[in-house]
Structure 1
């Protein structure tokens, strides 16, 4: 197995896409197509995730407790984000389901996306194709929005996101 040179942002995107599939079997080529990430990058990402202890050695099962620990305690330090300028895009963080039902905010957070329907503060996604992929897969969208809550949310928002992630992973 190759040397591990650290996780990359799209590694988390790929792991959450696998999580969104639940018990459904998946192939690397399907992940590549659905996320618009090259097959070689998906393969390298899977290998990095195995080495990091986030995916089993047979490359079929998420090590959910390890992934959850990383998301809860490490993500905001490794991939920090600050809300940016007002742009049109797709709702994320606490502005997207399921947290949008519980938390009402004046200024929504959005991933910049030309075909988006909401105007809000820009949150840079972990991969440029996340908004497009999220609109095609509701479970993936929810997981990525919860992830952004961990990156930019306040204490209460993060607490709700962690509770949701524990239920959904």
Structure 2
């Protein structure tokens, strides 16, 4: 049996992209193109996620409850984040355009991007090309921003993010199995 050498940040981003695609018929090459991550890196990531119990043996179906538990209880410890210097970028965490309507804050958090439309404290993305990937997938962008709230938010913000992630991650699985 293969040894698990720990999760890597891009593993979270890859699993969330699969969820945002809302299909079990995705292809490895399409996922690699959408995320600008090599096929071999995607494959290794899926192997790590399989060993961690976050995706099924065939590496097609996300174990949604397990992923949600990891995001809720583990992501802030495995991939901690401390906001950095003020940079131009794409808003994340409570600064995400939809989430900003709920939480008022004087400080923005952003993923660095020289073409970004906001200034704020830098949050490291889960992988290098993440900013490009979120520009073309609003659902993926929101999922990653919610996870960033768990990593850097205050208690009230984190509770909101967990509730939203439960809706977004578990909702599709309840539709698949005909549950209400």
TM-score, scaled to structure 1: 0.97
Say whether the 8 Å CA contact 1:97–1:142 is kept in structure 2. Answer: no
Alignment correspondent of 1:145: 145
Alignment correspondent of 2:100: 100
Alignment of 1:57 with 2:33, yes or no, is no
Secondary structure in structure 2 of the residue aligned to 1:111: strand
**TM-aligned CA deviation for residue 24 of structure 1:** 5.6
**TM-aligned CA deviation for residue 69 of structure 1:** 0.3
Say whether the 8 Å CA contact 1:99–1:161 is kept in structure 2. Answer: no
Secondary structure in structure 2 of the residue aligned to 1:81: coil
**TM-aligned CA deviation for residue 23 of structure 1:** 2.8
What's the CA shift string for 1:31-66, capped at 9, x where partnerless?
A: 111111111000011111111100011211100000
Alignment correspondent of 1:26: 26
Q: Which runs of 5 or more residues in structure 2 are unaligned?
A: 170-180
Structure 1 residue runs of 4+, over 3 Å off? none
- What does 1:34-49 align with in structure 2 at a 5 Å threshold? 34-49=34-49
Alignment of 1:70 with 2:70, yes or no, is yes
| Distance in 1 between residues matched to 2:164 and 2:46, nearest whole Å | 25
Alignment of 1:9 with 2:45, yes or no, is no
Q: Which runs of 5 or more residues in structure 1 are unaligned?
A: none
Calculate the aligned-residue CA RMSD, in Å: 1.0
Say whether the 8 Å CA contact 1:32–1:38 is kept in structure 2. Answer: yes
| Distance in 1 between residues matched to 2:91 and 2:24, nearest whole Å | 27
**TM-aligned CA deviation for residue 22 of structure 1:** 1.2
What's the CA shift string for 1:101-142, capped at 9, x where partnerless?
A: 200110110000111010111111111111110011111000
**TM-aligned CA deviation for residue 4 of structure 1:** 1.4
Alignment correspondent of 2:134: 134
Say whether the 8 Å CA contact 2:24–2:61 is kept in structure 1. Answer: no
| Distance in 1 between residues matched to 2:87 and 2:108, nearest whole Å | 10
| Distance in 1 between residues matched to 2:146 and 2:130, nearest whole Å | 13
Secondary structure in structure 1 of the residue aligned to 2:91: strand
- Give the aligned length: 169
